[in-house]
Amino acid sequence: MRGLWLENRKLTYREDLPMPEPRAGEALLRIRLAGICATDLAMLQGYYPFTGVPGHEFVGEVVRAPGHPDWEGQRVVGEINVTCGHCPQCLAGRPTHCENRTVLGILGRDGVFAEYTTLPIANLLPVPENVPDEKAVFTEPLAAALEILQQIHVRPTDKVLIVGAGRLGQLIAWSLALTGAEVWAVVRHRRQRDLLAPYGVTCITAEEVPHWAMDVVVEATGSSAGLALAKEAVHPRGTLVLKSTYPGETRVHIASWVVDEVQLIGSRCGPFAPALRHLAAGRIDPRPLIDAQYPLAEGLTAFAHAARSGVFKVLLRP
């Protein structure tokens, strides 16, 4: 099959990749649409050592599901963590931290920047008929945004700041705005403001970030400068959520975080079902984030496009 291949930080387009074969309990999926995210770009810089087909944001169609014929032909999205179900983390109700997990396109499992991939049936969720592919492909990043609300209680009276209004930052701001909280975002250009406006998000520049004013701050830049802004904004005993990919080492002065008793939360994967409900109900429509779509054969050009400053979502259509 055709696909993109990552090895030693180098991405290539290949037409000789072997067709994946579903194992027991798995389905063979034909990829309809896939999205390039910051993690995919960071992997080219060595964020995580991986050899194989990258990519984890997708909407696909079940081609073959041995033992589960009722799934065949269904349009689906899929949870990216494949877990064992019997390690201490799984048994404790923390499956996304499974000690034996593989992760689609990131850890020990080929991803979705190809014509086909495989996932366990247990990871699949049917896509509602009223959700087009261009919305469904955002299920994974929207779920990641919603994970914040799984981890902390955001009250309608809270003041919340998102540092970083890019691909993921927009989805975070939109979903947090649905809580009724007063949501602010640090923006760098007009288009970021325009995308946030329909959700009632207050936009400020980095120079306008207030000191000790926010109950919750979400850092979504993955940079030392972003962390410094987040620390400036969160008040003592406030909550700082790290929601980004941080390649390499990040230098921070941790003493003031201790003195201010800041609650620090790492945040990663989130719940798919609520994300699909938001998309189906029209509460969140991520399609304005799409900047370009490329055929799989132009995948290297698509990655270069996605890496440009100010670009939001670039999609691949195998």
pTM attached to this predicted model: 0.95
Find out whether 216 and 264 touch, Cβ atoms under 8 Å: no
Are 279 and 271 a contacting pair, CB within 8 Å? no
Write down the pLDDT at residue 247.
67
Residue 274 lies in a domain: no
Tens-binned pLDDT, residue by residue, of the chain (318 aa): 999 999 999 999 999 999 999 999 999 999 999 999 999 998 998 777 899 999 999 999 999 999 999 999 999 999 999 999 999 999 999 999 999 999 999 999 999 999 999 999 999 999 999 999 999 999 999 999 999 999 999 999 999 999 999 999 999 999 999 999 999 999 999 999 999 999 999 999 999 999 999 999 999 998 889 999 999 999 999 999 999 877 667 778 889 999 999 999 999 999 999 999 999 999 999 999 999 999 999 999 999 999 999 999 999 999
In a shared domain, residues 301 and 196: no
Specify if 171 maps to a domain.
yes
Question: Which tens digit of pLDDT belongs to each residue from 291-302?
Answer: 999 999 999 999
59 within a domain of the structure (yes/no) = yes
Please enumerate in sequence order all residues whose Cβ is within 8 A of that of 112, keeping only pairs 6 or more positions apart, or say none.
31, 34, 53, 55, 56, 57, 58, 60, 104, 105
Both 29 and 133 in one domain: the answer is yes
Q: What is the CATH number of the domain that holds 36?
A: 3.90.180.10
pLDDT of residue 47: 77
Residues 161 and 120 in one domain: no
In this prediction, residue 45 carries a pLDDT of: 85
Q: Mark whether 73 and 157 lie in a shared domain.
A: no
Question: Which residues have a Cβ under 8 Å from the Cβ of 127 and sit 6 or more positions away?
Answer: 59, 75, 76, 77, 136, 139, 276
Q: Is there a single domain that holds both residue 227 and residue 305? A: no
Query: 126 and 22 in one domain?
Result: yes
Residue ranges making up the domain that contains 311: 3-138+286-317
Q: Which long-range contacts (CB under 8 A, 24 or more apart) does 46-50 make?
A: 46/9, 46/247, 46/248, 47/245, 47/247, 48/106, 48/107, 50/6, 50/105, 50/106, 50/107
Domain count for the chain, please give it: 2
Tell me, what amino acid is at 208?
A: E
**Closest by CA position to 58, among listed 163, 149, 135:** 135
CA-to-CA dists, residue 312 to 94, 218, 309, angstroms: 31, 18, 9
Phi, psi of 292 (to 5 degrees): -165, 155
Look at the block and give the residue holding tokens 């969720």.
125
Cβ 60 vs Cβ 123: under 8 Å: no
- What pLDDT was estimated at residue 197? 96
Domain at 178, CATH number: 3.40.50.720
Q: Which of 222, 163, 174 is nearest to 199 (CA)?
A: 174
Q: Which residues of 301-313 are buried (b: 16+ CB within 10 A; e: fewer)?
A: ebbeebeeeebbb
Handedness of CA 50, 56, 60, 66 (dihedral sign): positive
